[in-house]
Amino acid sequence: MRATFTKLSLILLVLVSCNPTSKLVTTQDPTTGNLKKHIEFLADDKLEGRRTGTKGEELAREYIKEQFEAIGLTPKGTGSFPQAFTVNEGKTMQDGTLLQINGTELEKGKDYFCFPYSPNVSMEAMPAIAVPETDMPWFTDLKEILEENKSNPHFDLAEAIRSNAKKAAKQGATALFYYNSSAIDDKLTFDPKDRSEQSPIPVVYIKKDAAASYLSDKTASLKLKLTIRIGEKKRTGFNVVGYIDNNAPTTVILGAHFDHLGYGEDGNSRHASHDPAIHNGADDNASGTAALIELARKLKTSKATHNNYLFIAFSGEELGLYGSKHFTENPTIDLKSVNYMINMDMVGRLSDSSKVITIGGYGTSPEWSKNITPEYFVKNNADKKTAPDLVIRFDSSGTGPSDHTSFYRKDIPVLFYFTGLHSDYHKPTDDADRINYNGETVIVGHILKLVESLDGTPKLAFTKTREAQTTTSARFSVSMGIMPDYTFSGNGVRADGVSEGKPAQKAGLKAGDIVLQIGDFTISSLESYMQTLGKMKKGDKVKVKYKRGEAVLETMVEF
C-alpha cells in the first residue's frame, strides 16, 4: 500500500452483516500453515524490508519464483518468471560534486545544493562577492526579490532563478550563486524530479548558515572551486509472473506486491525516529504475496478451468505502482483477453471481533454486485448458524493506493482486498507475529470461491467509477482533479486519469495530457505542481498550458 494516501476515505456502500460477538472461525486448512511459512520468510530481518532494487527484494523474488515453480506454474515474465523494470528516481548530485570556498569543502546537501538543471562543469575562480565581473561566478542575494514579491501571488521564484541564470550567462557570468539573507522562507530544495531545460551555467544555492560564515564580508574575494556532477539515479526492480494455461480465451489476473520500505530510505516510512530500522512489512504486503501463492496452489487443481490464471507478484509498488504500471504497459499476455484482476494488499490483519474486510473496485463491473451480494455471503458462509466469516465493506472506486489502479486504467474490472490500516502501517513493527493467519485463510477461501463461482460466465463488462480521493485534494483548498502519474520522468506532470466533474475535466484535459504551466507558474515536476496548487484559491481562473501528444495546448481552468 502506498504511503501517499495514508488517509483512505472509503465510501461505505453496503455493510453486509455485523455481529461483533460471534466467535473466531478456526480452520484445519493447510493454507493457514503455508501462509505463516511464507509471511515469516518474507518478513524476516534477513530480507531487510524487501526494498525495490536491493538484495532483500532479490531474496523475496527467488522465494516466490521457487514457490511458483513448485506449484507447477508456467513462467510468464520476460523469458522466465521475473519481469524487469526501471525505476527512474530522477536526478542526484553524484560523488565528485564539490564546492570549496577558501580551502574549506562545504557539505553537499547540508551547506549547499546545485539546481538539477545545472550543467556538469569544473571550475576554479577568485570572484568578488559584490562585483559581477565577466568570466567570473556571480553572487545574488534573494533578499531583495523576495521582499519585493512578498505579497505577489503570481511570483514564481523557481522560474525567476532559472531566467536570471540565463540572463547572467549572457552578460558573462560563468556560474550563479544564490543565497538568502532575508527572514522570508524561500522553500528552495534540490528537486530530483525537476526536468527543466539545462541552464547555460551552473546555478548553486548556498544555505543560510554556510552563507553566514562564508559570504558575510561582501567586499571579500573568494577562492572558489566548483565541480558539478548531476546524474540520473536509477534502480531495477522485478515482478514475478507465473501462469496456469487452461487453453481458455480469457485470463483472470491475481496480483499482490511483495516489495516494501527497506530501512525507510525512500521517505515513505511512518517510523517516528529517524534512525534506520528494518521495515518487515508482514501485512504490507507479505500477507498479499502469501495469499497469492496459496491461491495459485488452489487454482492449479481447481475444476474452474474456463479461464487461464496469471499470478503477478509486483515490485516497485511502494515507490508509485512501478511494477504494475510496467506490466500493463508491457504485458506478457494480451490485455484484451483479461477477464478481471484481483489485487490483495494488506490482507493479514482481519479483526476477529469486527471481521471487516474492505473490497474496492466494486463499481468497476456490474457483475460484481450480482455475485458479491449479501446473499452470496450468507450462502457461502462456513458457519451458517451464527455469523458470516467476513463483514464486507464495499468501495466502488477502481483506483486507490495500490496496483489494481494500473489495471483499472486499462479498462479492466478490478477488485481490491484490504483488511484496513493499523498503527503498525509503514512502521518497523509491521511484523509476522501480528498477522491473523486464520483470518487470512478465510479471505483466501473467499477469493477462491468468488473466482470459482464466476467460472464459465461471460467475460465481465467494465464500467468506469469515480476516482478515489488522493492527498492532492486533501492537502489543498483547491484541486485540479487529475491523478498524477508518479512514474513519469519527463518535464511537467502527466495525468494518469482525470476526475469526472472536476476543474481539469471541465477545462477539457484528458488522461495522458502533460501539464506544463498553471497560471504564472511553470510546472517542472510533481513537487512544483503541489507547490503551485498550494497557492491557488477557490474561484481562481487561470490559464493552463499542457502537452497532448506533440502539441502544446492552452485552456482556462477554474478552481
Q: Are 101 and 211 in contact (CB under 8 A)?
A: no
Closer CB to Zn ion, 262 or 445, in the complex: 262
- In whole angstroms, how close is the CB of 410 to Zn ion at the nearest point? 22
Which residues make up the interface to Zn ion (CB under 5 A)?
1, 284
For the CB of residue 249, give the shortest distance to Zn ion in the complex, in Å.
35
Contacts for 59 with CB less than 8 Å, ≥ 6 apart: 46, 47, 50
Shortest Cβ 289–Zn ion spacing (Å): 12
- 264 vs 497, beta carbon nearer Zn ion: 264
Minimal CA–CA distance to 399: which of 460, 477, 481? 481
Strand partners, 305: none
Of 418, 350, 292, 303, whose CA–CA distance to 27 is shortest?
350
Contacts of 151 (CB under 8 A, 6+ apart): none
- Name which of 224 and 321 has its Cβ closer to Zn ion: 321
* For Zn ion, the closer CB: 261 or 447: 261
Query: In the bound complex, what is the minimum distance in angstroms from residue 278's beta carbon to Zn ion?
Result: 15
Cβ distance to Zn ion smaller for residue 284 or 496: 284
Q: How far is the CB of 440 from Zn ion (least distance, A)?
A: 17
Q: Of 406 and 499, which CB lies nearer to Zn ion in the complex structure?
A: 406
State the SS3 of 295-321: HHHHHHCCCCCCCEEEEEEECCCCCCC
Query: Contact, 439 vs 350, CB < 8 A?
Result: yes
CA distance 294 to 280: 20
The residue behind cell 513537487 is: 527
Beta bridge partners of 83: 239
Q: What are phi and psi of 298, to 5 degrees?
A: -70, -40
Between 1 and 310, whose beta carbon lies closer to Zn ion?
Answer: 1
Q: Are the C-beta atoms of residues 178 and 140 closer than 8 Å to each other?
A: yes
Residue-wise DSSP of 470-495: -HHHHHSS----EEE-TT--SSSEEE
Q: Which of residues 405 and 524 has its CB atom nearest to Zn ion in the complex?
A: 405
| Minimum distance, C-beta of residue 259 to Zn ion, in the bound complex (Å) | 9
CA 398/CA 226 separation, integer angstroms: 50
Least distance between Zn ion and beta carbon 177 (Å): 40
- Residue nearest Zn ion, Cβ-based: 1
Least distance in Å: CB of 1 to Zn ion?
Answer: 4
265: which residues sit within 8 A by CB, 6+ positions away?
51, 276
Minimum CB separation from Zn ion for residue 91, in Å? 25
CB nearer to Zn ion: give 5 or 179. Answer: 5
